[in-house]
């Protein structure tokens, strides 16, 4: 029995998908594997460009702010040979009050830093972030969107917490590219299920979803 079930479903009259989980110990990594297989097999109809199933070579989502998690940034470091501080050359940090968002840097505010615009391909495709791996140009169910947002939010929270500590130990501060009344306090960011993890296969979805996990079980 598949631990992750991705189901074609019409949502708001348009093609989309839903997600179900069939194992209490299923991990984020196993969800990612299922998503990649689902996307690459062309099982779901994309809204645009119409009639296209293959994502490789399509760069429609490579021009938007793409949020990253602590695991994503570890993987980017592995792909580029950069450490926990130097990897921020590939990231963009915005802070408003005590809220912080970290996304992939976009060249001239347009193309993702890892996009080859001539070919529409990603230079770190095997290491691309969770958001990139799980996005399809179609509708998503409430459950599918909840799962994606929980992974991204918890993963970014840990990225912020751990990065503040890394720069503090080096005698510096978290680099902020755009600020609006920023108040950066390490105490605002607590440890969670992403803390200390560098592999999505080590993070269980029940830890990510908490009490909502039962909504996904079949």
Residue 46 has pLDDT above 60, yes or no: yes
Answer yes or no: is pLDDT of 50 > 70.
Answer: no
pLDDT in tens, 95-144: 999 999 999 999 887 899 999 988 889 999 999 999 999 988 889 999 99
Structural domains in the chain (count): 1
What confidence category does residue 55 fall into, taking pLDDT thresholds of 50, 70 and 90?
A: low
Evaluate whether 15 touches 47 at the Cβ level (below 8 Å). Answer: yes
For the cut 90, the answer to whether the pLDDT of residue 39 exceeds it is no
Q: How many CB atoms lie within 10 A of CB 155?
A: 29
Its domain, for residue 82, covers 4-215
pTM of the model: 0.94
* Average pLDDT for 142-158: 98
Average pLDDT score over the chain: 93
- Residue 136: the pLDDT is 85
Rounded Cα distance, 130 and 135, in Å = 9
43-51 long-range contacts (CB < 8 A, ≥24 apart) are 43/6, 43/8, 44/6, 44/8, 44/15, 44/16, 44/17, 44/136, 44/138, 45/8, 45/15, 45/138, 46/15, 46/136, 46/137, 46/138, 47/14, 47/15, 47/137, 47/138, 47/139, 48/137
Q: Say yes or no to pLDDT of 44 above 80.
A: no
């Amino acid at each position: 029995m598949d631990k992750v079930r991705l189901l074609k479903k019409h949502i708001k009259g348009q093609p989309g998908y839903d997600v179900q989980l069939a194992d209490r110990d299923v991990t984020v990594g196993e969800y990612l594997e299922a998503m990649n297989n689902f996307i690459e097999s062309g099982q779901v109809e994309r809204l645009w460009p119409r009639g296209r199933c293959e994502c490789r070579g399509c760069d429609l989502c490579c021009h938007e702010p793409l949020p990253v998690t602590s695991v994503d940034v570890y993987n980017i470091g592995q792909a580029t040979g950069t450490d926990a501080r130097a990897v921020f050359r590939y990231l963009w940090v915005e802070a408003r009050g005590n809220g912080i968002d970290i996304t992939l840097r976009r060249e001239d505010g347009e193309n993702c830093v890892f996009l080859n615009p001539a070919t529409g391909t990603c230079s770190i495709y095997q290491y691309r972030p969770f958001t990139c791996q799980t996005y399809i140009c179609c509708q998503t169910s409430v459950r599918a969107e909840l799962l994606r947002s929980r992974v991204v939010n918890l993963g970014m929270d840990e990225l912020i917490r751990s990065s503040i500590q890394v720069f503090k130990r080096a005698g510096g501060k978290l680099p902020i590219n755009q600020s609006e009344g920023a108040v950066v306090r390490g105490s605002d960011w607590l440890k969670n299920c992403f803390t200390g993890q560098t592999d999505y296969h080590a993070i269980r979805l029940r830890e990510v979803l908490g009490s909502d996990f039962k909504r996904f079980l079949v």
